[in-house]
Amino acid sequence: QLPLVESGGGLVQPGGSLRLSCAASKFTLDLHDIGWFRQAPGKEREGVSCISDRGSIPNYVDSVKGRFTISVDNAKNTVFLQMNSLKPDDTAVYYCAADWRPYSDSCSLHKGSYKFWGQGTQVTVSS
């Protein structure tokens, strides 16, 4: 079993919302930086959002600022990505990732910064 398991993807109309979940099965998410990435067909995997262990200021790619929100529920050992006002350009496979980085106060949107990955969940925005 992969260390991270995503869920919550699906088909949604433009302007709709989805909430993605990422559950960690082999470690606790505290003391880790956590990121959400996406990969559309024919495109590179890009960082969407991340949150550091301290989690004071999440980081977002410009294209999702004001629409997506990352959050962590340490009691459930799960990270969420709330996606609102979805657009067709948001269509992609979404992955969560984590890396051991205790007491960090900033996170990276670069895929090379993360060691643990999930299998991905498909998000399709279409009318």
pLDDT for 54: 65
| 83 has pLDDT over 80 | yes
Residues 6 or more apart whose CB falls under 8 angstroms from that of 32 comprise: 53, 98, 99, 100, 101
| 1 has pLDDT over 90 | no
Q: Span 50-67, mean pLDDT?
A: 89
Percent of the chain with pLDDT over 90: 80
Higher pLDDT: 124 or 75? It is: 124
Do 47 and 111 touch, CB atoms closer than 8 A?
yes
